[in-house]
Structure 1
């Protein structure tokens, strides 16, 4: 029988924040989020400050993403056979060391595309080992009936920081240089590592061979139709959203709206939507968990269609706000469904397979979009991306299991 760190029986009648281990987990998440919100901007200006351009930044971002995809399955296997608190400790420590080294390199003037990319590779590797462990850790700490509230509380600090973090990071970079923002990010990882190490969660399953664990994880993933269909739909939706919003959004904003000023408002509306979605999840506990997770992804098509159809900026802002709300509701509902309906000993591997499936779509989506804009105009491609997002959600709603995976303890 898998050994887990179950909360005391009395904790089941209280809110998640009354559980000491969960408070520690949330505190670590909040501290880490303050650094992570500043890091992308600091990284971009570290590359630019050394004379790099879009190509150099692209290389750096790729070296951060590729190892996450490559090592994620191994991270999922380890999350199901080792102490998840130990994995979170090591992962955050590695990320902190990578960001600390990057801060020193930038501060001393020795930054180059190669050195920054190496640090990014280490950070991406750390993410691959912390993501699967984090989802399983929450399910070990919090009773099943409180998981939705716990997942929402975990997203609250990161979403709140997203509203102000980039602006604060921009001010730090402008007045002190990117090295200070990177150093703060490194420090937050280190503090979070110490807090997470104190959770002392037991390993969820007995140790077997890695290959056997991986094979069993794939069997569990494929045998649950609701998991792999959600992953497949998510891959299409992630590719359409990132290609349309992140890649073409700023270009269309420059062509059709007020450029950087209006695009900043759109980004702000999305961040506000994510925060509002977290508040919704704290107040609303739907019974049809998986149905809500699927349906809530459909609003992501809104901003893409609004910009593609050339609607006025207020409509784009409203659509983006609703997209942010929907995305956060979907993330919380999906995480809760997995934690309540997947055994502890499989959560890490299932999370890893899901993460790999969705992340593999990112470079493919960028590539297809780059080819498409050579044939059609940007607005037509945006409408096509929006249509793909609607189609992915609609087809996923046709899966019978979507209506069977419901909240437990209700």
Structure 2
């Protein structure tokens, strides 16, 4: 007598899924290298005689391709095997960082050669980012997506705390070339781990790249919750980068004990990111998108604290809360996105969302540079805090922000 085969059981935790463990391992290894890259890149420019202008050019060439090619990367993330895209993207990044390490080690590095390697690395990132965003829902059951997103961020946030310290030590003891070579090696190892993961291309109609882009744009516009979150995120990211990254060190230098106190503020923010990840492992809110929007408003706290020159312990507490809020927002948003966007569209939707937030980088820095000629740094900091609060508040007024909620295992399908 034959008996029906028992249906496969859903794993109780993402850690029981071998492909997920490989994915997290690759992310951790890559993050360990990437954490050393900014400092090594800065010192490679300094060592060949470059100044602020040269470093600005290098950073711009690294960022520009992620804006130009991100949409193309999103299209291919929906057309090809995401495992293969991740493998080739990490391999390309490894080659670029390896070439840069060689030129720095041999003394042949110039601003132009460093910028060229940054251009290649930025291009690789344009294809990696959309593929990563679409990969999680292929590896993990829907009910475990939040836990998986938090587990993915836990080790990378830890690296953000320790990485810059390790990079400084490595560059001080050796030179920038060794840190760059380490970054290249981690990309190569990550590429090997990502090859062969079950991330086959989702079924999609046979059409051209431009047709896919047009269809992606139509899908992006049709999801009010997606484009309003992207628009609010562009304002929020611009205000945060301008206030925290650009003006924060300047205010700390004038009103506090300079680099020492600013280092403590950054450490508090990084610890907040770690704490936020731990919160997401325990707390699973139903209203995912509304929580993501509300939690992001915490980024206004350290900007306001710095602008009002509150005592340092209060500034540190504000930075800690901002880190918690940001990580909760990222995990909640990623989970909502993965549950409510079809697999066949996640690459393109992620790319359109990413382009908006990356445009915030030059926008925020450019506007702030102009604003500081008209107002004091403290006034601009208050304006940035107000913009973050207003962007979050307005986004919460969008009805769709309260309709994109956690899906139960029984609730199949996606939002239109």
Q: What's the TM-score once normalised by structure 1's chain length?
A: 0.97
Tell whether the 8 Å contact from 2:11 to 2:17 is kept in structure 1 after alignment. no
2:93 to 92, 95, 116: 95
Tell whether the 8 Å contact from 1:11 to 1:19 is kept in structure 2 after alignment. no
Tell whether the 8 Å contact from 1:86 to 1:200 is kept in structure 2 after alignment. no
- Find out whether 1:314 has 2:323 as its counterpart: no
Tell whether the 8 Å contact from 2:293 to 2:395 is kept in structure 1 after alignment. yes
| Aligned-pair CA distance for 1:391 | 0.3
Alpha-carbon distance between aligned partners in 1 of 2:167 and 2:180, rounded to the nearest angstrom? 10
Moved over 3 A (4+): 8-11
- 1:45-64 matched pairs, under 5 angstroms: 45-64=43-62
| Aligned-pair CA distance for 1:362 | 1.3
| Aligned-pair CA distance for 1:234 | 0.1
Deviation string 1:325-350 (CA, Å, 9 cap, x unpaired) is: 10011011111101000000000000
1:44 aligns with: 42
Alpha-carbon distance between aligned partners in 2 of 1:180 and 1:121, rounded to the nearest angstrom? 20
1:111 aligns with: 109
Alpha-carbon distance between aligned partners in 2 of 1:278 and 1:393, rounded to the nearest angstrom? 21
Tell whether the 8 Å contact from 1:87 to 1:129 is kept in structure 2 after alignment. yes
Across the aligned residues of Structure 1 and Structure 2, the Cα RMSD in angstroms comes to 1.1
1:121 aligns with: 119
| Aligned-pair CA distance for 1:9 | 6.2
Alpha-carbon distance between aligned partners in 2 of 1:341 and 1:140, rounded to the nearest angstrom? 14
2:197 to 199, 204, 210: 199
2:243 aligns with: 244
1:360 aligns with: 359
1:170 to 165, 168, 171: 168
- 1:3-18 matched pairs, under 5 angstroms: 10=8, 12-18=10-16
Q: Secondary structure at the match of 2:69?
A: helix
| Aligned-pair CA distance for 1:18 | 0.3
Alpha-carbon distance between aligned partners in 2 of 1:331 and 1:348, rounded to the nearest angstrom? 17
1:5 aligns with: none
Tell whether the 8 Å contact from 2:63 to 2:122 is kept in structure 1 after alignment. yes
Tell whether the 8 Å contact from 2:19 to 2:197 is kept in structure 1 after alignment. yes
1:133 aligns with: 131
Q: What's the TM-score once normalised by structure 2's chain length?
A: 0.96
Alpha-carbon distance between aligned partners in 2 of 1:26 and 1:244, rounded to the nearest angstrom? 32
- Find out whether 1:400 has 2:376 as its counterpart: no
Q: Secondary structure at the match of 1:408?
A: coil
Alpha-carbon distance between aligned partners in 2 of 1:144 and 1:136, rounded to the nearest angstrom? 13
| Aligned-pair CA distance for 1:10 | 3.7
Alpha-carbon distance between aligned partners in 1 of 2:10 and 2:260, rounded to the nearest angstrom? 48
- 1:265-276 matched pairs, under 5 angstroms: 265-276=264-275
- 1:211-226 matched pairs, under 5 angstroms: 211-226=210-225
Alpha-carbon distance between aligned partners in 1 of 2:311 and 2:8, rounded to the nearest angstrom? 54
For structure 2, list consecutive stretches of 5 or more residues without a partner in the other structure: 1-5, 410-416
Tell whether the 8 Å contact from 2:88 to 2:191 is kept in structure 1 after alignment. yes
Aligned length: 403
| Aligned-pair CA distance for 1:209 | 1.0
| Aligned-pair CA distance for 1:11 | 5.5
Tell whether the 8 Å contact from 2:33 to 2:186 is kept in structure 1 after alignment. yes
For structure 1, list consecutive stretches of 5 or more residues without a partner in the other structure: 1-7
Alpha-carbon distance between aligned partners in 2 of 1:194 and 1:250, rounded to the nearest angstrom? 39
Alpha-carbon distance between aligned partners in 1 of 2:308 and 2:275, rounded to the nearest angstrom? 26
